[in-house]
Structure 1
């Protein structure tokens, strides 16, 4: 297992073309150090500071821009099972959280279509629910303990087909379903606020057979201490999406090669009955542009998880 760190701290620059992405050595948190090793790598270019200082003195009108940004740990593993286990150990509820009946640890899990978000969220939640009784010795061994972790899928916040029908260009709206503007982010934000303030909330799921959300289908109760919200656009930094991103205690991004992700989505389309040419058209017209937008939000994550074939 490896964790490296992406640094988005640029050197002084004139334009974005001089920005560099650095992989730096990072000190691991105390959790799971026994499983992890550290790798470091760096890509450096010609130093710009001396050249910029010289130009500043000559021109007296050049501004050197510097920004300090966080380093983003990157979780690498030999298998996805190893990733699932490590993440579950990472976010097991603490005793202090357990003592507060309303407290939640809410995680936003984002990534492109075909990245494996749903699988990761479900597998991590299952492991937490299995491990939690072992950590909380107060549980009676004869009593089945309640689940303490739950998944909330962003798919439940799709607009209804009837809402797409009412748009100015219904054909375009249906063809682009899955783009950010075909969701109801305000409803998601309000659900997260209610969850944070009251400790319980009903949220919708999504019926892929019907193609519409199912209202109030998932109940997040007081017993749930870990909530993983998974979806494409949770880490976008504009509009209501930015407010949603600010609601999370942790922000995870599952990173995957774009071509690999699109091949997975293509197979998914074909498996649901779409002819191969129609499936490929949907990839080119909708899924790939959406994925390219989502990949830009990786910089807003607290942890990047490398996806492995599963």
Structure 2
């Protein structure tokens, strides 16, 4: 069961392991969403840092920039525009998501609860954090399907999930004790999107 979003919340964080359904749930809430994935470093920067092989791990994100943007949202600043991640390009796009200065805003991503200074600065901006869980077998199959849909062959997809995504999942689950609420999505059926 999805808990109701309290009316006095400005920033709701949604976290969980890769493939758990963070983006799907965030979209289903009908609120503005800031995806953590928009704060990926671009591949050119990952190459410079020699981190392209571990793209998606905590050190491949601009956590400081993410915390700064959330601070502006929390302060109800006008004209805040967040970046997004384009899965077709596999790159972040700056200035893509206008964020309203009033009401509740959702931010979703893997590392909202990570106990590292740069990620704790993100957590400090959030009023409430939900940690999502689902059966690991279901989650892993979703991940493999996602990687295949965006260009990897099935063997490459499974290798990436095993080497990168599951190492990240272990970090995320270790940090889950810092969540305000744990939400089990095992029985949740996302609402169907009407055809365009």
TM > 0.5 fold call: yes
- Hey, what does 1:249 align to over in structure 2? 127
* Residue of 109, 112, 116 corresponding to 2:21: 116
List aligned pairs for 1:173-188, cutoff 5 A.
Answer: 173-188=51-66
Q: Which residue of 1 aligns with 2:193?
A: none
Q: Is the 8 A contact 2:135 2:186 kept in 1?
A: no
Paired with 1:216 and 1:270, the residues of 2 have a C-alpha distance of 28
Q: Which residue of 2 aligns with 1:145?
A: none
CA RMSD in angstroms comes to 1.6
Tell me the residue number matched to 2:68.
190
- Tell me if 1:302 matches 2:184: no
Hey, what's the Cα distance between the residues in 1 that align with 2:156 and 2:10? 41
Structure 1 position 157 matched with structure 2 position 46: no
* Equivalent residues of 1:157, 1:204 under 8 A apart: yes
Between the aligned partners of 1:265 and 1:220, the Cα distance in structure 2 is 28
5+ residue gaps in structure 1? 1-76, 78-82, 95-103, 127-148
Q: Secondary structure at the match of 2:84?
A: strand
Shift of 1:259: 2.9
Structure 2 residue 81 is matched with structure 1 residue 202: yes
CA distance in 2, matches of 1:176, 1:304: 27
TM superposition shift of 1:198 = 4.3
- The separation in 2 between residues aligned to 1:181 and 1:262, in whole angstroms, is 22
Q: CA deviation at 1:296?
A: 1.0
SS of equivalent residue, structure 2 residue 93: strand
Q: CA deviation at 1:250?
A: 0.6
- Judge conservation of contact 1:258–1:291 (CA < 8 Å) in 2: no
- DSSP 3-state at the match of 1:206: strand
Indicate which of 143, 152, 174 corresponds to 1:265.
143
Map of 2:192 onto structure 1: none
Report the Cα offset of residue 210 of structure 1.
Answer: 1.3
Unaligned runs of 5+ in 2: 190-196
- The answer to whether structure 1 residue 166 and structure 2 residue 48 are counterparts is yes
Match of residue 220 from structure 1: 99
Q: Does the CA-based 8 Å contact 2:88-2:150 persist in structure 1?
A: no
TM-score where L is the length of structure 1? 0.57
Q: Is the 8 A contact 2:32 2:106 kept in 1?
A: yes
1:107·1:250 contact (CA, 8 Å) conserved in 2?
A: yes
Question: Shift in Å at residue 304 of structure 1?
Answer: 0.5
Bigger Rg, which one:
1
How far did 1:271 drift? 2.1
Return the structure number with greater relative CO, CA threshold 8 A, min gap 6. 2
- Cα distance in 2 for partners of 1:281, 1:112 equals 17
Instruction: Give the whole-Å Cα distance in 1 for the aligned partners of 2:151 and 2:99.
Output: 34
Alignment partners' CA distance in 2, 1:225 and 1:305: 23
CA distance in 1, matches of 2:35, 2:76: 20
Instruction: Using the TM superposition, name which of 253-262 and 231-240 deviates more.
Output: 253-262
Show the counterpart of 1:25: none
8 A contact 2:130–2:182 mirrored in 1:
yes
